[in-house]
Amino acid sequence: EIWDEIAKKNADIMGSNTDPFYGAPVILIVLGKKDWPTHVYDGSLVMGNLMLAAHDLGIGSCWIHRAKEEFESDWGKELLKSLGIEDEYEGIGHCAIGYVDGDYPDVIPRKENHVFYI
């Protein structure tokens, strides 16, 4: 039920009525405590590490935005409060995870001589 509410709110912010999470069965939401000066950077690292860990386990993942807007809204603040999260948090992102339907995408080869030394 909460998943549906979050998906609806995210789609509303996006201005769409489609599933913003692409049918992923699990959404992990990363929040950063607003009074920590590096909360956005720290939360971004958490998102990246979640996605790397999912990939290592053969699970697909996708960073979905609009968490900031969700949890700055009265709706988002009430949702956090209902979950026992009462400090001031900023939404960093949603990590949609699930098993890929079909073959896992091939790795794109590295570009030759794409590093420039100055």
**Tens of pLDDT, residues 27-49:** 999 999 999 999 999 999 999 99
* Lowest-confidence segment of 29-33, 56-60, 107-111 by average pLDDT: 107-111
Give yes or no for a contact between 42 and 76, defined as CB atoms under 8 angstroms apart: no
Mean pLDDT of 109-116: 81
**pLDDT of amino acid 108:** 79
Strand arrangement of the beta sheet that strand 60-64 belongs to: 26-33, 89-98, 60-64
Q: What is the DSSP string of 3-29?
A: HHHHHHHHHHHHT--S-TTTT-SEEEE
Mean pLDDT of 48-75: 95
The domain 2-98 is placed in CATH, from the list 3.10.350.10, 3.40.109.10, 3.40.640.10, 2.60.120.330, at 3.40.109.10
Mean pLDDT of 53-62: 93
| Residue 30 structure tokens | 């990363």
Task: Identify the H or E element spanning 60.
Answer: strand 60-64
Mean pLDDT of the residues in the chain: 93
**pLDDT of amino acid 104:** 66
**pLDDT of amino acid 52:** 96
**pLDDT of amino acid 61:** 95
